[in-house]
Chain A
Amino acid sequence: MNLKKTLSDYGTILVLILLGLGFSIVTIEEQWPTGNKAAKSLLQDVISTRPANGSNVLVLVRQGGDGKAFADALASESVAAGLNVLQIAVTQPVGARKALISIGQSGNSLPFIFADRHMANFCNEQLPRLSTQHPSLSTARVFTPSSHKWPNFLKKENLLNILKQISVVAIIAIGMTMIIITAGIDLSVGSLIAFSGVITALVIQSVGGGTPTTTHLFLGAFSGIIACGLIGMFTGGMVTAFGIPAFIVTLGVMFVARGMSFILADSDPVLVANPDFGWLGRGELLGLPNTVLLMALLFILAHLLMTRTSVGRYIYAVGGNPEAARLSGVPVKWVLVFVYTLCGVLAGLGGVMEASLHVTGDPKAGNMLELQVIAAVVVGGTSLAGGQGRIFGTLVGALIIGVIRNGMNLTGVEAHMQSVVYGVVILIAVLVDRLKAKIR
């Protein structure tokens, strides 16, 4: 019994860990590090050979990617180690060949070549031949950062990428979790993303003209979020005042908001004429993407709201037994209006994030996203029957969906197959939900 309880409480986390392990195992590859750290450790290897002060160095890095940065790092580390950097070549094999020949012709001694993986391979192939023509090259030793095996999935950039990709869905899923805990549903959030983005971009355009200032950007974002909040309030009002099922109300709102987005935007994406608008969607703080930090903050706040405040208690009570809640003095209708409004506000925020990422308010944004949001909530263990569910469960649900997508992309599963896998994951989640109810 205890095992069952533990499984039902932490089962989703277990699934997440297993998925992560699985994708880690299948994406293990030889990794050739670049960047500052790699440059430092390479130079340490060189210093341990006790090179003469002022020895000549050629830095050879393949063009493209973060090649330039790596080359600069290697150069500055070399200088710091008291070596003399003859040349920094960020180039293709042809250029590398030229650089080597010119050094050979100049007659300078060249004890060290610092290269990345590609150039190291090139040098190891070409140097023996070149040194027969240019003897000064014969003493050259090629250093490249040591490689190691590491899963592509577990690389820091990849993990941050997953978090970035799920941030919009996960943030909206906070509101959706609360709605589903009250035994409701909101199908309109995908359309609200577009609506919020379009409103934001239009407001920025109309108040800021061609050169919007930061104030204008904030004003626009605020308008988009408020507009979606008001729509959420309207939905909540329809659900409580007229007792129309949330499914129907939000289905209607979904079409209205999508259509209005296209009408307002005149069917084309609305550009924001200030690149600063990308700060939210593309910016970073302390090495973490802003969207990820915002997501973390909102999840902590939502968790506190649901576990430590009367509002949270009321939400659970309304979902668990609305009549008992009403007879205990819970303002049931206000609670319902609150959750729909909050979900609207969060969808509006999601829309601003999406618009910020592309610096554009796109009426096509967030298409079918509502289903991903609902999937995250359901996979996270929130019961569609209401009354039960956890905010962090939803985060785990969103992570599971994000990890599956990422892992399938890394292993090259094609898009249609991915869709099949999502569907199966959702069905399993709902099945688990039913089984949990049975155990009880």
Chain B
Amino acid sequence: MSGIHKRFPGVHALKDVDLELHTGECLALLGENGAGKSTLIKMLGGAHLPDEGTISFNGNPIQIHGPQDALAAGIAVIYQEFNLVPWLSARENIFLGQEPGRVCILPAKRERERAVELFKQLGADIDPATLCCDLTVAEQQIVEIAKALAADARILVMDEPSAALSPREVDGLFRVIDGLKERGIGIIYISHRLDEIFTVADRVTFLRDGAHVGTRPIVGLTRGDMIELMVGRSIDQEYPKEITEIGDVRIACKGLNRGKKVQDVSLEVRRGEIVGLTGLVGSGRTETARILFGADRPESGTIMMNGSELQIRNPRDAIATGICLLTEDRKSQGLVLGQTVLENFGLPNLKSFSRFSWIDLGRERSSIEDHGRQLQIKMTGPDQVAATLSGGNQQKVVLAKWLERNAEVLLFDEPTRGIDVGAKYEIYQLMNRLVAKGKAILMISSELPEVLGMSDRIVVMHEGRIKGEITDVPNATQQDIMKIAVG
């Protein structure tokens, strides 16, 4: 792949990226969340088309317009979410989509033999007749790999293949990868776990903010080098942090548990404080915030507000007690996209705008217009449909609806994701104004410079647990955070 560019509305996701994979090698792709890794591999899998640049295979340029093209070219992508049909057997899944064109009276028998052979090559003991939903995650992964081999794939792309596996299963995966390499299959391996990279990869390509920042052989590379290449940004005046007076504990939780994602999480946020909650994607940050907001129920643990225990059964309760959540994914969770700005803004605030359920439309309208002016929301008017606003303005609409609630505790999950620099700055200033008024902010973010730039205190999570806390923020570095975050 060379000179790859990809632009999405408002984002330049990939800028002139080159990537080279040799026969029988394992190339690791490293970068922060949002660095462009997923976009890049989706191009190989046929989910996106590059705007510019070429992809060549054995020196011949190829065009990948869809998943079928990718498979035909010998490229198989195994996404984090497996593409298996749960109610079909392992054999049927392996040969799914390959049935036509096979002239064979008893395909089932031949397929079964081929499946057994493939599993043997992969060193797995799986009965091809087992339904996929009865297989373990590791076994399903083997089925995915077998599926790729059955289609004669020469390149295998694996997105976070180890995320759902136990350490023993990961070892098994590595043996499989070694075997594939011996057969001359090239592998692109994406993972956040740096230790794995040292074990499995031959070379590492680093992406940062959609740009290719370097490719290094694994030999001679240290953990520190990796972190620096991944995050290596300098902090300048992007973050207008103001020092505020920090008061009593506003919200606190003790011993929250929910599945594997949230294990024994205790934290507190004080009046006038911005606490940065960070960690890798999937480390349980969002899940923790959702519990505080009542979106999910904890299995155990307590939540306290101003020192007294809260019973939060649903978001409605949380909103009533003055907690609000700016969701990570504003399009699917923060806004009703098909509705207007006014309707979205009104949703949590209708009680204060209505009497006996009858809405005072005039008051509601003038209120969103006020917020629109203060937050500088660029919209044609309160009747503009939310879907047609830019990302930053959508985020401001979500902010407006919570500001109107005058919530005391604000849980901001990736508040600046996918937002341009100017709007980011305005959101940081707004956060400053809020803490100056004594509000408590828990800011979840994967952007380490933002966490370092805006937080009074940083809490780092890893695999559902709080792994560390950084109180001396001004003297902390991104490397300090990453060291805790990768476990």
A-to-B contact residues, CB < 8 Å: 308-311, 313-314, 316-317, 320-321, 323-331, 387-388, 440
Contact = CB atoms under 8 A, between A and B. Distances in A.
Interface in B160-201: none
Given A327-B315, A328-B348, A387 B339 contact: yes
A270 B361 CA distance: 49
A309 B320 CA distance: 20
23 contacts: A308-B361, A309-B357, A310-B350, A313-B343, A313-B347, A313-B350, A313-B359, A317-B347, A321-B332, A321-B335, A321-B337, A324-B333, A324-B334, A324-B336, A325-B336, A326-B315, A327-B325, A327-B327, A328-B315, A328-B401, A329-B315, A330-B316, A387-B339
Given A310-B359, A329-B315, A321 B350 contact: no
Contacts of A321: 332-333, 335-338
Given A313-B350, A321-B332, A326-B314, A387 B338 contact: yes
B346 interface: yes
B358 A309 contact: yes
Given A320-B336, A326-B314, A328-B319, 11 more contacts: A309-B359, A317-B339, A321-B337, A324-B334, A325-B336, A326-B295, A327-B293, A327-B295, A329-B315, A330-B316, A330-B347
Contacts of A324: 327, 332-336
A389 to B, nearest CB: 11
Contacts of A323: 332-333
B348 A329 contact: yes
Chain A CB count within 10 A is highest, among B332, B335, B338, B343, for: B338
Contacts of B337: 320-321
B319 A329 contact: yes
Interface in B322-358: 325, 327, 332-339, 343, 346-348, 350-351, 354, 357-358
Nearest to A385: B338
Contacts, number: 77
Interface of B: 293, 295, 314-316, 319-320, 325, 327, 332-339, 343, 346-348, 350-351, 354, 357-359, 361, 387, 401
Q: Which 5 A/B pairs are nearest by Cβ-Cβ distance?
A: A320-B336, A310-B350, A328-B347, A329-B319, A321-B336
Contacts of A314: 347, 350
B359 A327 contact: no
B297 to A, nearest CB: 13
B456 to A, nearest CB: 26
A316 B385 CA distance: 14
Given A326-B295, A328-B315, A331-B316, A313 B346 contact: yes
Nearest to A318: B336
A329 B316 contact: yes
Contacts of B339: 316-317, 320, 387
Contacts of B325: 327
A314 B343 CA distance: 9
